[in-house]
Amino acid sequence: MEIMPESSACLELTMSIPGSSSNSSSFPSSGEGGGGRYNMMRDLELDINQVPSSGNINDEEISMEEEEEESSNNNINDNINGASRKKLRLTKQQSFLLEESFRQNHTLNPKQKEALAMQLKLKARQVEVWFQNRRARSKLKQTEMECEYLKRWFGSLNEQNRRLKKEVEELRAMKVGPPTVLSPHSCHPLPASTLTMCPHCERVTKTNVRDESRI
């Protein structure tokens, strides 16, 4: 039961970056193995979500309101130099663009990640983490949906089972005799009373062959 379509098409992010430098590539998404790798990342986390003073921000993409939101985020993250880490909140615009990218492709290659990170003024690592978490969330959602579906199915099967058991008990109570009628098709003996399933109510109904023949 595959719910989410996996696009095999590669997402191509095109953008124009006036006067962009190569500073984005300086972020080591990984470098050293083991613990050192993450110590470095912890250090780099300190200036998370900081926006360069010389803004190359696209006016069409980020409104005044969002810029305020973004600056408030930066205020929060200016505080990061302390011991406790501060939570980054993505702006509406950032979330929207990330969602759009995710909708097109659930994974990013390094180029796409870099481009998206620059576009969103985030670090490539943040984009990568967002996609990882997003994939996890969609998988969780899908699992929950499947669980709900299976629960409903189990309930209906239970109900059907209950009905059938009841029918069996009713039939046993009737103590119908052994088959005495031959099938006109196969010449095999038929029970005097046969069971048919009502297509409308899905109830098993008893049909007496001899009664039927009288009709």
Footprint on this chain of DNA (rule: CB under 7 A): 28-35, 38-39, 41-42, 45, 48-49, 76, 84-90, 95, 107-110, 113, 125-126, 128-137, 139
Shortest Å, Cβ 133 to DNA: 5
Question: What are the CA-CA distances from residue 25 to residues 20, 22, 30, 59, 111 (Å)?
Answer: 11, 6, 12, 25, 10
19 or 33, CB closer to DNA?
Answer: 33
137 or 166, CB closer to DNA?
Answer: 137
End-to-end CA distance of the chain: 48
Shortest Å, Cβ 169 to DNA: 42
What percent of the chain is helix, strand and coil (3-state, nearest 5)? 55, 5, 40
43 or 59, CB closer to DNA?
Answer: 43
103 or 166, CB closer to DNA?
Answer: 103
Q: What distance in Å separates the CA atoms of residue 28 and residue 166, rounded to the nearest whole number?
A: 68
95 or 158, CB closer to DNA?
Answer: 95
Which residues lie across from 207 on neighbouring strands? 194
Q: What distance in Å separates the CA atoms of residue 215 and residue 212, rounded to the nearest whole number?
A: 5
Shortest Å, Cβ 115 to DNA: 13
75 or 180, CB closer to DNA?
Answer: 75
For 206, counting Cβ atoms within 10 Å of its Cβ (0-12 exposed, 13-18 middle, 19+ buried), the class is: middle
Shortest Å, Cβ 45 to DNA: 3
Greatest CA separation found in the chain? 96
Shortest Å, Cβ 83 to DNA: 8
Shortest Å, Cβ 175 to DNA: 54
Q: What distance in Å separates the CA atoms of residue 155 and residue 149, rounded to the nearest whole number?
A: 10
